Structure 1
């Protein structure tokens, strides 16, 4: 029996199989991901293994895992990690609750709903640094609008105004409030899209069964909205772990290091101190932390899908 000649590469490209066609279509995507994701991450990990100080002018020296040993014994790293996790724990649920309320409000059957929905876009569209500068003025001790309102309402003493940005606890609270205001609109937009996907027939059936609006929310709205909530939490949590702009423009990480985040610590070592090796090690730690949190959320999404 004469063996069938194997088609050449050119013939296979002219008439590709389903598997080859899929590989060809995905090749540009893999190449783009390798260029913008794999290479920068690989370069970051590689730099973290060197003593790479741009200020010294010396030759980079391979030191292995010494930068990581310094990271885990650095009190500034643990302080920044604590602040980052605290900001994440406070602002993510806060933005979710505020965003859910805004989404429910925007989903009400108004005759003219576009002003409400347009108002959701304004905080989200405002640059982070601008939001930080605006709220830094709001929380200013002497001429800030927050102290002025509290004093007019009789909730604060005019002779002893609250030093929002000059005391560690108040500064962190001011930063968290600013982040919640800035990010709740993003959560609201995602949740609003989820609300509009819920069939109205479910509410009609629940109303026929005698369910109150509160029962409809807990038994219809919230379960159907859960996939959108998980997606919103994934994006918001990752950006919360990478918080930089708002605390940097409001407090520069102060007073002391009370509001310094991991992203700000990385910026300080790489930009201010020009220590690229140690800054890269800090960035790898932040990347791993974000990766772990994302994996936890994706596992939760997989359980809901199953």
Structure 2
């Protein structure tokens, strides 16, 4: 009998570095495709059809290509909702970054007992968005709200925060900044923790003030964390729904793009047009994210 060659079972240690990385990342890639890529692809697919449950196209969708997107470009309500969303982004993203930076610097001070300060950062972030909107709706109530009570005690007049569109916008922005600045502060606090203390000690020896140390050491080294926080904050700002919806008790006097998507899809049962609006919101968020990433790559180069 011919002698059989021994068979070796190939283990992970025998794989090349690239092959090992492929097999280790494959489960995560499959899971990402299942929970993220497939829903996005399905959303794109639905946006190409006229499908409304209030007529015959509900169960027999009609292919119209880019018809829903063409309708959106001529839809005045879409442009109003998009403009309202841009206003929220322009106000709340810088506001959350500034407030979050101040909170992170406060939490990074050499307190003997730091956990109450850092716990205070976690509470707004852990609070559900709808709950935060309902709380601040009561704060800005025209009759019984805390804000108007303070204004009256200071000699001012009661303001109709919730029923006046201009005041409602600022009330929503204040609520969003309060809710999201804690998340920004947690990211920036992590960035502050990795800055070597030796740099501050050397700056103090050279006679630099705290303000100079902040501008020459803290802010430049904290820039990557600021950019990461800005990316997350901008994406979530474009998707703002819960807080404006809760503060208006389901109304739409100040409507964001996400609220319009919900109204079109859930209330009007127009899934085709609602999918197209959601695709546009996704593309805008993706475009802004790519701009951030391009800026980061340019800064690294």
- Please name the residue that 1:131 is paired with: 132
**In structure 2, C-alpha distance between the alignment counterparts of 1:22 and 1:31, rounded to whole Å:** 14
1:103 equivalenced with 2:107 (yes/no): no
Q: CA deviation at 1:268?
A: 0.3
- Please name the residue that 1:3 is paired with: none
Residue 111 of structure 2 aligns to a residue whose secondary structure is coil
- Please name the residue that 1:303 is paired with: 298
**In structure 2, C-alpha distance between the alignment counterparts of 1:103 and 1:204, rounded to whole Å:** 20
Q: CA deviation at 1:34?
A: 1.6
Q: CA deviation at 1:21?
A: 2.8
- Please name the residue that 1:42 is paired with: 41
**In structure 2, C-alpha distance between the alignment counterparts of 1:231 and 1:20, rounded to whole Å:** 30
With over 3 angstroms needed to count, the CA separation of the structure-2 counterparts of 1:54 and 1:17, relative to structure 1, is same
**In structure 1, C-alpha distance between the alignment counterparts of 2:135 and 2:37, rounded to whole Å:** 37
For normalisation by structure 2, the TM-score amounts to: 0.93
With over 3 angstroms needed to count, the CA separation of the structure-2 counterparts of 1:21 and 1:208, relative to structure 1, is same
With over 3 angstroms needed to count, the CA separation of the structure-2 counterparts of 1:216 and 1:19, relative to structure 1, is closer
- Equivalent residues of 1:120, 1:189 under 8 A apart: yes
**In structure 2, C-alpha distance between the alignment counterparts of 1:80 and 1:232, rounded to whole Å:** 25
- Please name the residue that 1:62 is paired with: 63
**In structure 1, C-alpha distance between the alignment counterparts of 2:92 and 2:108, rounded to whole Å:** 23
* Paired residue total: 292
Report matched runs for 1:4-23 at 5 Å: 15-23=14-22
Q: CA deviation at 1:234?
A: 0.5
- Equivalent residues of 1:252, 1:260 under 8 A apart: no
Q: List per-residue Cα deviations over 1:153-209 (Å, max 9, x = no partner).
A: 11x13xxx2000111100000000000010111111111111111100000011111
Q: CA deviation at 1:11?
A: 6.9
1:228 equivalenced with 2:225 (yes/no): yes
With over 3 angstroms needed to count, the CA separation of the structure-2 counterparts of 1:273 and 1:213, relative to structure 1, is same
- Please name the residue that 1:7 is paired with: none
Q: List per-residue Cα deviations over 1:43-91 (Å, max 9, x = no partner).
A: 1001000011123254111111110000010001000000000001100
- Equivalent residues of 1:49, 1:277 under 8 A apart: yes
1:215 equivalenced with 2:216 (yes/no): no
1:270 equivalenced with 2:271 (yes/no): no
Residue 87 of structure 1 aligns to a residue whose secondary structure is helix
**In structure 1, C-alpha distance between the alignment counterparts of 2:200 and 2:67, rounded to whole Å:** 60
For normalisation by structure 1, the TM-score amounts to: 0.91
Q: List per-residue Cα deviations over 1:126-159 (Å, max 9, x = no partner).
A: 10000000000000111111000111011x13xx
Structure 2 stretches lacking a partner, 5+ long: 1-8
Q: CA deviation at 1:28?
A: 1.6
**In structure 1, C-alpha distance between the alignment counterparts of 2:30 and 2:243, rounded to whole Å:** 34
1:145 equivalenced with 2:146 (yes/no): yes
- Please name the residue that 2:277 is paired with: 282
- Please name the residue that 2:5 is paired with: none
Structure 1 stretches lacking a partner, 5+ long: 1-9
**In structure 2, C-alpha distance between the alignment counterparts of 1:262 and 1:199, rounded to whole Å:** 43
- Equivalent residues of 1:253, 1:261 under 8 A apart: no
